Amino acid sequence: MTYANVCIICITAALMIASLPTRAQNTVPEQGPTVVLPSPKTEGTISVEKAIATRRSVRSYAADPVTLAELSQLLWAAQGITDASTGHRAAPSAMAVYPLTIYAVAGNVSGLGAGVYKYTPKGHTITTISLGDKRAELFAAGSRSQVKDAPMFIVIAADSAYASSRFGSKSAHFTDLEAGHVTENIYLQAGSLGLGTVSMAGFDAGRLKTALAAPDTITPVYLMPVGRAKK
Ligand SMILES: Cc1cc2nc3c(=O)[nH]c(=O)nc-3n(C[C@H](O)[C@H](O)[C@H](O)COP(=O)(O)O)c2cc1C
């Protein structure tokens, strides 16, 4: 085998490795303890048809807490790993790149202190970004939205730097599409758990990023309050 042949093999191998789905992106600084979440269930009590037929946006929430098991299930539905052999997740992703970062903002979650947490699909854990109730800080001053009372929020954000490095000029388009897949999973999973939610895009992105202590590379796409519908 000539030196040239070896080089061609090396370059081919390098290109193949570079084209493999990258799952190690993580530009969000982790600042506190990691919490291993309860194992998610892969069977529920209502059919997917019923979850679709009864899905409605909920904007008014009872004071009851969300449980840690429910929070775990919602994060799994958002981005949980559903195939350990490939690392593929609950929602589809262009080229299996997975450019989204999911935050949970807990205010009234039984079994979990109030704070901002970042979800890590591998190992199904959340890492503390900050402690303290940040729910009110998610909204612009003067907002009258009732969703402020929700016991917790999920923020679906794009890791824009990572997405750009993989998708180039399609980055924002692809991350917006992927966030849509994730919100529908969360809607259906919430309904299956007897919880309500709404996908909100009308937020103050700067204020939201400040509340999350999100770096410049992170672009929030959707904000989803979660709780039991107020009767
Ligand atoms: C892209 C997008 C942005 C949305 N933004 C908001 C929002 O900022 N605030 C809100 O209360 N609802 C928001 N919604 C929810 C819609 O208002 C809701 O889906 C619509 O009224 C239909 O009601 P349903 O979801 O109960 O079927 C948004 C939905 C989408 C798809």
Residue 101 inside a domain? The answer is: yes
Residue 182 inside a domain? The answer is: yes
Residue 56 inside a domain? The answer is: yes
Question: What is the tens place of the pLDDT at every residue in 167-220?
Answer: 999 999 999 999 999 999 999 999 999 999 999 999 999 999 999 999 999 999
Q: How many domains does the chain have?
A: 1
CA angle 48, 93, 172 (to 5 degrees): 120
State the closest ligand 1 atom to the C-alpha of 56, by its place in the atom list counted from 1.
Answer: 26
CATH number at residue 220: 3.40.109.10
Question: What is the tens place of the pLDDT at every residue in 25-51?
Answer: 455 656 789 999 999 999 999 999 999
Q: What DSSP string runs through 132-181?
A: S--TGGGS-TT---GGGG-SEEEEEEEEHHHHHHHHGGGHHHHHHHHHHH
- Ligand 1 geometric centre to CA of 33 (Å): 34
Nearest to 27 by CA among 225, 212, 223, 222: 212
Q: Is 202 close to ligand 1, i.e. is its CB under 6 Å away? A: yes
Stretch among 12-16, 86-90, 108-112, 148-152 having the lowest mean pLDDT:
12-16
Atom 3 of ligand 1: nearest residue by CA position: 201
Residue 7 inside a domain? The answer is: no
Q: Is 56 close to ligand 1, i.e. is its CB under 6 Å away? A: yes
Q: Please give the mean pLDDT across all residues of the chain.
A: 88
* pTM (2 d.p.): 0.87
Residue 112 inside a domain? The answer is: yes
Q: Is 146 close to ligand 1, i.e. is its CB under 6 Å away? A: no
Residue 20 inside a domain? The answer is: no
Residue 13 inside a domain? The answer is: no
Q: Which domain holds residue 83?
A: 28-227
Query: Among 198, 204, 223, which is best to mutate for testing ligand 1, by the most ligand atoms less than 8 A from CB?
Result: 198
Q: Is 57 close to ligand 1, i.e. is its CB under 6 Å away? A: yes
State the closest ligand 1 atom to the C-alpha of 183, by its place in the atom list counted from 1.
Answer: 31
State the closest ligand 1 atom to the C-alpha of 203, by its place in the atom list counted from 1.
Answer: 8
- Ligand 1 geometric centre to CA of 123 (Å): 32
For residue 171, give Cα distances in angstroms to 44, 96, 120, 178, 214: 34, 14, 21, 11, 19
Residue 70 inside a domain? The answer is: yes
